Amino acid sequence: MSVVITAFERSPDGGKGLARDTRVRWALEEVGQPYEVRLISFRAMKEPAHLRLQPFGQIPTYEDGDLALFETGAIVLHLAQSHSGLLPEEANARARAIGWMFAALNTVEPPILDLVVAKFDEGDRPWAKERLPLVEDRIRHRLVQLSARLGDADWLDGAFSGGDLMMVSVLLRLRPSGILDEFPGLAAYVVRGEARPAYRRAFAAQWAINAAAPQAS
Ligand code: GTB
Protein backbone atom coordinates (compact mmCIF):
# COMPACT_ATOMS: atom_id res chain seq x y z
CA MET A 1 0.00 0.00 0.00
CA SER A 2 1.56 3.32 -0.96
CA VAL A 3 1.57 6.55 0.94
CA VAL A 4 -0.19 9.46 -0.78
CA ILE A 5 0.09 13.09 0.26
CA THR A 6 -1.59 16.15 -1.19
CA ALA A 7 0.17 19.33 -2.29
CA PHE A 8 -0.68 22.53 -4.14
CA GLU A 9 -1.15 22.05 -7.86
CA ARG A 10 0.52 25.43 -8.09
CA SER A 11 2.21 26.66 -4.92
CA PRO A 12 1.87 30.41 -4.25
CA ASP A 13 5.60 30.53 -3.42
CA GLY A 14 6.51 29.25 -6.88
CA GLY A 15 8.35 26.26 -5.37
CA LYS A 16 10.57 27.88 -2.73
CA GLY A 17 9.66 25.04 -0.39
CA LEU A 18 7.60 27.20 1.95
CA ALA A 19 4.31 25.35 1.58
CA ARG A 20 3.77 22.76 4.26
CA ASP A 21 3.92 19.70 2.06
CA THR A 22 7.70 20.24 2.06
CA ARG A 23 8.06 19.30 5.73
CA VAL A 24 6.03 16.13 5.17
CA ARG A 25 8.06 15.25 2.07
CA TRP A 26 11.23 15.89 4.10
CA ALA A 27 10.08 13.54 6.89
CA LEU A 28 9.14 10.86 4.33
CA GLU A 29 12.59 11.20 2.76
CA GLU A 30 14.36 11.06 6.14
CA VAL A 31 12.67 7.77 7.03
CA GLY A 32 13.00 6.32 3.53
CA GLN A 33 9.27 5.95 2.92
CA PRO A 34 8.33 6.18 -0.78
CA TYR A 35 5.26 8.29 -1.48
CA GLU A 36 3.01 9.62 -4.18
CA VAL A 37 1.65 13.14 -4.44
CA ARG A 38 -1.88 14.11 -5.47
CA LEU A 39 -1.79 17.70 -6.66
CA ILE A 40 -4.83 19.75 -5.81
CA SER A 41 -6.18 23.11 -6.93
CA PHE A 42 -7.39 25.82 -4.53
CA ARG A 43 -10.96 25.12 -5.66
CA ALA A 44 -10.73 21.37 -5.13
CA MET A 45 -9.32 21.97 -1.62
CA LYS A 46 -12.69 23.40 -0.59
CA GLU A 47 -14.79 20.61 -2.12
CA PRO A 48 -16.33 17.74 -0.14
CA ALA A 49 -13.88 15.06 -1.30
CA HIS A 50 -10.92 16.99 0.12
CA LEU A 51 -12.83 18.30 3.14
CA ARG A 52 -13.42 14.70 4.19
CA LEU A 53 -9.63 14.39 4.45
CA GLN A 54 -8.87 17.90 5.70
CA PRO A 55 -11.80 19.64 7.41
CA PHE A 56 -10.18 23.08 7.01
CA GLY A 57 -9.70 22.74 3.25
CA GLN A 58 -5.91 22.84 3.36
CA ILE A 59 -2.90 20.85 2.22
CA PRO A 60 -1.08 18.66 2.99
CA THR A 61 -2.92 15.45 3.85
CA TYR A 62 -1.50 11.98 4.32
CA GLU A 63 -3.07 8.65 3.40
CA ASP A 64 -1.66 5.22 4.05
CA GLY A 65 -4.17 2.39 3.63
CA ASP A 66 -6.89 2.86 6.25
CA LEU A 67 -5.19 5.83 7.84
CA ALA A 68 -5.90 9.40 6.73
CA LEU A 69 -4.22 12.25 8.59
CA PHE A 70 -4.14 16.02 8.39
CA GLU A 71 -1.98 18.57 10.27
CA THR A 72 1.71 18.42 9.53
CA GLY A 73 2.53 18.00 13.22
CA ALA A 74 0.43 14.85 13.40
CA ILE A 75 1.77 13.53 10.10
CA VAL A 76 5.44 14.08 10.95
CA LEU A 77 4.96 12.67 14.45
CA HIS A 78 3.24 9.60 13.02
CA LEU A 79 6.10 9.05 10.57
CA ALA A 80 8.68 9.57 13.31
CA GLN A 81 6.96 7.08 15.60
CA SER A 82 6.35 4.44 12.98
CA HIS A 83 9.82 4.47 11.36
CA SER A 84 13.31 4.87 12.64
CA GLY A 85 15.39 7.93 11.84
CA LEU A 86 13.54 10.87 13.33
CA LEU A 87 13.33 10.06 17.04
CA PRO A 88 15.96 8.77 19.45
CA GLU A 89 15.45 5.28 20.90
CA GLU A 90 16.09 6.34 24.48
CA ALA A 91 12.75 7.22 26.09
CA ASN A 92 13.64 10.57 27.65
CA ALA A 93 15.52 11.80 24.59
CA ARG A 94 12.55 10.71 22.46
CA ALA A 95 10.13 12.67 24.64
CA ARG A 96 12.35 15.76 24.44
CA ALA A 97 12.55 15.53 20.64
CA ILE A 98 8.74 15.40 20.49
CA GLY A 99 8.73 18.41 22.80
CA TRP A 100 10.79 20.33 20.24
CA MET A 101 8.28 19.45 17.54
CA PHE A 102 5.56 21.00 19.67
CA ALA A 103 7.76 24.00 20.48
CA ALA A 104 8.26 24.61 16.77
CA LEU A 105 4.53 24.47 16.05
CA ASN A 106 3.10 26.03 19.20
CA THR A 107 5.70 28.55 20.32
CA VAL A 108 7.83 29.58 17.34
CA GLU A 109 5.48 29.25 14.37
CA PRO A 110 2.55 31.40 15.66
CA PRO A 111 4.42 34.74 15.70
CA ILE A 112 5.93 33.91 12.30
CA LEU A 113 2.47 33.26 10.88
CA ASP A 114 1.29 36.49 12.45
CA LEU A 115 3.89 38.30 10.34
CA VAL A 116 2.51 36.70 7.19
CA VAL A 117 -0.98 37.83 8.17
CA ALA A 118 0.25 41.34 9.08
CA LYS A 119 2.00 41.76 5.73
CA PHE A 120 -0.26 40.01 3.27
CA ASP A 121 -3.76 40.06 4.79
CA GLU A 122 -3.65 43.29 6.77
CA GLY A 123 -0.99 45.26 4.92
CA ASP A 124 -3.51 47.74 3.49
CA ARG A 125 -5.17 48.57 6.84
CA PRO A 126 -4.54 52.07 8.20
CA TRP A 127 -2.94 50.64 11.38
CA ALA A 128 -0.76 48.09 9.57
CA LYS A 129 2.45 50.16 9.60
CA GLU A 130 2.15 50.73 13.32
CA ARG A 131 1.49 47.07 14.08
CA LEU A 132 4.23 45.53 11.95
CA PRO A 133 7.21 46.38 14.24
CA LEU A 134 5.35 44.85 17.19
CA VAL A 135 4.78 41.64 15.28
CA GLU A 136 8.42 41.54 14.16
CA ASP A 137 9.67 42.13 17.70
CA ARG A 138 7.60 39.24 19.01
CA ILE A 139 9.41 37.01 16.52
CA ARG A 140 12.80 38.43 17.55
CA HIS A 141 11.98 37.73 21.17
CA ARG A 142 11.43 34.05 20.38
CA LEU A 143 14.52 33.85 18.20
CA VAL A 144 16.74 35.34 20.92
CA GLN A 145 15.53 32.57 23.23
CA LEU A 146 15.84 29.81 20.64
CA SER A 147 19.27 31.02 19.61
CA ALA A 148 20.45 31.01 23.23
CA ARG A 149 19.28 27.42 23.65
CA LEU A 150 20.87 26.19 20.41
CA GLY A 151 24.16 27.89 21.23
CA ASP A 152 27.01 26.34 19.24
CA ALA A 153 25.28 22.98 18.84
CA ASP A 154 24.38 21.59 15.44
CA TRP A 155 20.92 20.46 16.53
CA LEU A 156 18.55 21.26 19.37
CA ASP A 157 19.09 18.17 21.50
CA GLY A 158 21.87 15.84 20.41
CA ALA A 159 21.42 14.16 17.04
CA PHE A 160 19.13 15.55 14.33
CA SER A 161 15.52 14.68 15.11
CA GLY A 162 11.94 15.39 14.09
CA GLY A 163 12.19 18.37 16.42
CA ASP A 164 14.88 19.88 14.21
CA LEU A 165 12.97 18.99 11.06
CA MET A 166 9.96 20.89 12.33
CA MET A 167 11.94 23.83 13.73
CA VAL A 168 13.95 24.32 10.53
CA SER A 169 10.74 24.08 8.48
CA VAL A 170 9.10 26.74 10.62
CA LEU A 171 12.12 29.07 10.50
CA LEU A 172 12.40 28.77 6.73
CA ARG A 173 9.14 30.69 6.39
CA LEU A 174 10.95 33.64 7.96
CA ARG A 175 13.80 33.87 5.51
CA PRO A 176 12.12 36.26 3.01
CA SER A 177 11.59 38.79 5.83
CA GLY A 178 15.34 39.10 6.55
CA ILE A 179 14.74 38.55 10.29
CA LEU A 180 16.38 35.12 10.25
CA ASP A 181 19.66 36.69 9.09
CA GLU A 182 19.72 38.82 12.24
CA PHE A 183 20.46 35.55 14.05
CA PRO A 184 23.51 34.01 12.37
CA GLY A 185 23.46 30.90 14.58
CA LEU A 186 19.87 30.15 13.60
CA ALA A 187 20.47 31.03 9.96
CA ALA A 188 23.33 28.50 9.94
CA TYR A 189 21.09 25.94 11.68
CA VAL A 190 18.52 26.33 8.89
CA VAL A 191 21.24 25.96 6.25
CA ARG A 192 22.38 22.74 7.98
CA GLY A 193 18.84 21.43 7.75
CA GLU A 194 18.56 22.37 4.09
CA ALA A 195 21.87 20.62 3.38
CA ARG A 196 20.56 17.24 4.48
CA PRO A 197 20.16 14.94 1.49
CA ALA A 198 16.58 14.14 2.52
CA TYR A 199 15.65 17.83 2.54
CA ARG A 200 17.28 18.33 -0.84
CA ARG A 201 15.26 15.48 -2.33
CA ALA A 202 12.06 16.86 -0.81
CA PHE A 203 12.79 20.37 -2.08
CA ALA A 204 13.68 19.12 -5.55
CA ALA A 205 10.46 17.11 -5.80
CA GLN A 206 8.21 20.07 -4.98
CA TRP A 207 10.35 22.40 -7.11
CA ALA A 208 9.97 20.11 -10.12
CA ILE A 209 6.20 20.53 -9.90
CA ASN A 210 6.10 24.24 -9.21
CA ALA A 211 8.86 25.40 -11.50
CA ALA A 212 7.14 23.55 -14.32
CA ALA A 213 3.73 25.11 -13.63
CA PRO A 214 2.89 28.55 -15.02
CA GLN A 215 2.64 30.95 -12.07
CA ALA A 216 -0.34 33.18 -11.41
CA SER A 217 0.46 36.79 -12.20
N1 GTB B 1 -1.83 23.65 10.59
C2 GTB B 1 -1.91 23.13 9.26
C3 GTB B 1 -0.79 22.10 9.05
O4 GTB B 1 0.28 22.25 9.64
O5 GTB B 1 -1.00 21.11 8.32
C6 GTB B 1 -1.81 24.28 8.30
C7 GTB B 1 -1.92 23.84 6.86
C8 GTB B 1 -1.85 25.04 5.92
O9 GTB B 1 -1.77 26.20 6.36
N10 GTB B 1 -1.91 24.78 4.62
C11 GTB B 1 -1.86 25.86 3.66
C12 GTB B 1 -3.12 25.82 2.81
O13 GTB B 1 -3.60 24.79 2.43
C14 GTB B 1 -0.67 25.64 2.72
S15 GTB B 1 0.86 25.75 3.57
N16 GTB B 1 -3.66 27.00 2.53
C17 GTB B 1 -4.81 27.14 1.68
C18 GTB B 1 -5.99 27.61 2.43
O19 GTB B 1 -5.95 27.70 3.68
O20 GTB B 1 -6.99 27.91 1.75
C21 GTB B 1 0.86 27.52 4.00
C22 GTB B 1 1.62 28.32 2.98
C23 GTB B 1 0.96 28.89 1.92
C24 GTB B 1 1.67 29.70 1.02
C25 GTB B 1 3.03 29.90 1.21
N26 GTB B 1 3.75 30.73 0.32
O27 GTB B 1 3.20 31.21 -0.67
O28 GTB B 1 4.92 31.01 0.55
C29 GTB B 1 3.67 29.29 2.26
C30 GTB B 1 2.95 28.50 3.14
Give, for ligand 1, the residue of 9, 16, 18, 20 to mutate: max count of ligand atoms closer than 8 Å to Cβ. 20
Domain ranges across the chain: 3-85+198-212, 91-196
Q: From the CB of 20, is ligand 1 less than 6 Å away?
A: yes
CA of 53: how far to CAs of 37, 44, 45, 80, in Å? 14, 12, 10, 21
| Distance in Å, CA 134 to ligand 1 centroid | 23
Backbone angles phi, psi at 35, to 5 degrees: -155, 160
| Distance in Å, CA 53 to ligand 1 centroid | 15
Start-to-end C-alpha separation, the chain: 39
Q: Which fold has domain 91-196?
A: Glutathione S-transferase Yfyf (Class Pi); Chain A, domain 2 (1.20.1050)
Q: From the CB of 50, is ligand 1 less than 6 Å away?
A: no
CATH code of the region 3-85+198-212:
3.40.30.10
Closest atom, ligand 1, to C-alpha of 70: 5
CB contact at 8 A, 161 and 87:
yes
What SS3 state is found at 38?
Answer: strand
Backbone angles phi, psi at 201, to 5 degrees: -65, -40
Asked, colleague to colleague, whether 3-85+198-212 and 91-196 share their fold, the answer is no
What is the distance between the alpha carbons of residues 93 and 71, in angstroms, rounded to a whole number? 24
Which distant-in-sequence residues (6+ apart) come within 8 Å of 19 by Cβ? Answer: 7, 8, 11, 12, 13, 59, 206
SS3 content of the chain, % helix, strand, coil (to 5): 60, 10, 30
pTM for this entry: 0.96
Amino acid at 21: D
CB contact at 8 A, 132 and 157:
no
CA 70 to chain centre: 13
Q: What is the DSSP letter of 63?
A: E
Give the sheet arrangement for strand 35-40, strand by strand: 35-40, 3-8, 61-64, 67-70
Q: What is the pLDDT along the chain (217 residues), one digit of tens a residue?
A: 599 999 999 999 999 999 999 999 999 999 999 999 999 999 999 999 999 999 999 999 999 999 999 999 999 999 999 999 999 999 999 999 999 999 999 999 999 999 999 998 998 898 989 999 999 999 999 999 999 999 999 999 999 999 999 999 999 999 999 999 999 999 999 999 999 999 999 999 999 999 876 655 4
pLDDT of residue 217: 42
